[in-house]
Amino acid sequence: MILEFAKAVWFILPAFIANAAPIIGYKIFGKFNAPMDFGKKLGGKPILGPGKTWGGLLFGLFAGTLAGLVQTFFQPQGFPLMNTHLALLLSVGALTGDAFGSFIKRRLDFARGKSLPGLDQLGFLIFALVFAYPLAKLSLLQIAFLLMVTPVLHVGTNLIAFLLKLKKEWY
Ligand code: CTP
Ligand code: MG
């Protein structure tokens, strides 16, 4: 059982990295960065808002794919086979899910950074799983496990980013 959960974590790792990395890209690109929606609005509300930038997106894709590349060197026997193609798919899925979450939050008049529990922690995961579905299939138990532990991990990594002063909110 534990082994099945470890395999699920191994498989989803690039998505986790891709979801956590954009804040670093945001800082690196600095004033050269641009919001993904270019500040445009839809019905008077931001399409995605200033928390979704091209620098963050690029860095997230890069970091998630790099994580997959590193994983290929440490591929354990019997674990889902990692490769850069899969890692890129998982990263694109994670970042699309994250942007989709912001799109929904802006429609609901949630300001940038305001949390919407559930969507914030699971949107990226669900999109990553769907995007990578054609390449690798997890069991229902493994998916249920990821849906349960991801919110906990998410709060944990946010807390670390907060303590490192990368984020203003601890959650
Ligand atoms: N970030 C980015 N580009 C992305 C995703 C994230 O630059 N595509 C950076 C932003 O600095 C963002 C931070 O990472 O503020 C944290 O990401 P997230 O929590 O997803 O954004 P929020 O600021 O909470 O904005 P939103 O309310 O739209 O989710
Ligand atoms: Mg947030």
pTM for this model (two decimals): 0.95
Alpha carbon of 127 to ligand 2 centroid (Å): 17
The count of other CB atoms within 10 Å of the CB of residue 117 is 10
pLDDT at 166: 84
Alpha carbon of 84 to ligand 1 centroid (Å): 24
Residues 6+ apart with CB under 8 A from 119: 101, 104, 105
Best of 23, 48, 107 for a ligand 1 pocket test (most atoms within 8 Å of beta carbon): 23
Pocket of ligand 1 contains residue 37 by CB under 6 Å: no
Pocket of ligand 1 contains residue 26 by CB under 6 Å: yes
Pocket of ligand 1 contains residue 23 by CB under 6 Å: yes
For the chain, the average pLDDT equals: 95
The answer to whether the beta carbons of residues 50 and 88 sit under 8 Å apart is: no
Helices (H) and strands (E) in the chain, counts: 6, 2
Pocket of ligand 1 contains residue 150 by CB under 6 Å: no
The answer to whether the beta carbons of residues 58 and 25 sit under 8 Å apart is: yes
**By alpha-carbon position, which residue is closest to atom 24 of ligand 1?**
113
pLDDT at 103: 98
Helix axes 22-29, 54-73, angle to 10 degrees: 130
Average pLDDT of each block of 10 consecutive residues along the chain (171 residues)? 95 97 95 97 97 98 98 97 98 98 98 94 97 91 96 86 85 76
Please give the number of the atom of ligand 1 that sits closest to the Cα of 48.
28
pLDDT at 161: 85
User: At 157, phi and psi to the nearest 5?
Assistant: -70, -35
